[in-house]
Amino acid sequence: MTLNYQFTQPRLLATIVFGILLVAGCGNSSQAAMSLPSAKVDTPLATKKGEQIAVFSGGCFWGVEAVFEHVKGVNDAWSGYAGGSSVTAKYDIVSSGMTGHAESVKVSFDPSKVTYGELLKVFFSVAHDPTQLNRQGPDSGTQYRSAIFYTNAEQQRIATAYIAQMSAAKTFPAKIVTQVNPLKAFYMAEDYHQDFARLNPSHPYIVYHDLPKVQNLKKQFPQWYVAKY
């Protein structure tokens, strides 16, 4: 795959700056994995194999995609855009922060192997920090916001209840800012964004910010972790 460094360069620059802050003791390359309660409102595992779709937004889609690709019961995950129109679903335009889009990940999963509530637990604990408003780590802008795009009323009910559950228990030291919105459309990101962590494991951004998330998944949820690469 040929990388378009015209578009990946800003993220690389952010990583370099963040690395300098890290050396100075002003930052952390990856948030520590949170120990979260299981969702009280959830559906039981299905009795038959099937396929459902979930869409999550939590900062750079490279890392979120990498995390879910390693979750048991997930068939595949794709990077893309949600929240805006088809006309503006292009990386260079989305990066302006003015399109309504969020960098998002579409997750195909088998409900007989993993529940939506379990995917939410992974999303909130190791995939991103839900208390950061319109940013994640070195990336800032509305395109990096924390959001759940539900595909049906059941997903909306489970996601809303889980956020309320964690908020009431003060699970996080700050307010959860995750939006819960209906999925109107998901637009696939450019080819060079797909499987970026797998294909570019030595990329500075992946090393600093995304591989630690996968490692946290393996450490905190060994029962759900699947080695893919």
Considering 14, 34, 54, 60, which one is annotated as catalytic? 60
Q: CB neighbours (10 Å) of residue 167?
A: 12
The H-or-E segment that residue 210 falls in is none
Q: 91: Cβ–Cβ under 8 A, 6 or more apart, which residues?
A: 7, 189, 190, 193
Cα–Cα distances in angstroms (integers) from residue 45 to residues 74, 111, 124, 146, 219, in the given order:
14, 6, 20, 26, 23
Which of 80, 145, 70 has the alpha carbon at shortest distance from 106?
80
What Rg do the C-alpha atoms of the chain give, in angstroms?
17
Residue written as tokens 């099937």?
50
**Beta carbons of 63 and 15 less than 8 angstroms apart:** no
For residue 196 the two structure tokens come to 């970026």
Residue written as tokens 């956020």?
163
Residue written as tokens 């120990």?
35
Q: 227: Cβ–Cβ under 8 A, 6 or more apart, which residues?
A: 70
- Cα(206)–Cα(200) distance, integer angstroms: 7
**Beta carbons of 41 and 157 less than 8 angstroms apart:** yes
Q: Is 26 a catalytic residue?
A: no
Would you name the residues annotated as active-site residues? 60
